[in-house]
Amino acid sequence: MENIPDFPAGLGYSKDEADDFLDRVDDINKQIQDIISGKVDVKELDRKDKELAEKERLRKVAKEIKEREAKELAKKGRPGKGHQGGYKTFCRACFREFLEDGIDICTVCGKETMTLEERMDELKTKLEEHKQKMGKKKTRRAKWENWKKTQELFYRKTSTNYSKWDMFESSEEEFESEPIVPKNDPNFIAMEKDFEDRAARRRKDKRIAEDLKEKGNDCMKKGLYRTANKHYSEALDHKKDYLQLYTNRALCRIKLELWQDAVDDCTRVLEYCEVFDNGF
């Protein structure tokens, strides 16, 4: 039969614990009275006590397992980017926040962790760099707008007013000499040849860039990211306005964990689109 438990001594116990203790005392007293009066068999009471003891043991085991799982889960940390605080250390490789002290090595990826203060300093530095970068971008945009305005003013001053041609009267003497056709003008011939040479070089550079892009794509499929990065960079040397090369190289640099270089490639594409694809 279950022994009468001692009342928890000292302070710090909740009202629920005290009430539970008193309920157990009342149950035991009732059991004793039932035994004295012959209402309950002692063997049956022992069997019930063993069942209760077994249930209590299983409850404690389940509680211990739950606490152990909670500790293991705490060691793995929680997902987060480290910008809200409330943690001890942070892994920037796999974005895990650890709430327990002493976790200097990430338990998920094995990389070195940083403290909350170090992460906040890093984020502040990145914020300042972003502000500087956006400031430079706004400055370039302002210069571009000023250049457009200057070009418009220059065009107005140097353009021909064709509406005044209707008032122009020419004499027959002006047409006595045979006019020079542009195709017979040496300057025009040289300029035309220069245009053709430039167009030929552009076509050649585009073919070379496309070949290098295909080589880079093949290397990406094989997992040769450094070689692919080299091919994409060489292709951009031949054709700098080939936007697909920037996006392909950005993906390649993400695989190489060259984060800032990947951001620069994506920014370059956005700048090209902003200037040339939005009415400019």
Longest dimension (CA), the chain: 148
Distance CA 170, CA 176 (A): 12
Tokens of 185: 């003008």
Task: Report the side by side order of strands in the sheet with 96-98.
Answer: 78-79, 96-98, 89-91, 114-115
Indicate the pTM of the whole model. Answer: 0.34
Matching residue, tokens 């000292």: 10
Tokens of 124: 């502040």
Distance CA 240, CA 202 (A): 11
Tokens of 162: 């064709």
Query: How many angstroms separate the first and last alpha carbons of the chain?
Result: 92
- E strand residue ranges, 17-166: 78-79, 89-91, 96-98, 114-115
Matching residue, tokens 């542009």: 182
Does residue 15 come out as left (phi exceeding 0), alpha (psi in the -120 to 50 range) or beta?
Answer: alpha
Matching residue, tokens 């203790």: 21
Q: Residue 274's CB: how many other CB atoms inside 10 A?
A: 13
In this prediction, residue 241 has a pLDDT band, given cuts at 50, 70 and 90, of: confident
Instruction: With a cut of 80, say whether residue 173 has pLDDT above it.
Output: no
- Give percent of the chain above pLDDT 70: 76
Whether 99 contacts 88, CB under 8 Å: yes
Q: What is the pLDDT of residues 4-38, one digit of tens each?
A: 445 455 445 566 767 777 777 777 777 777 667 76
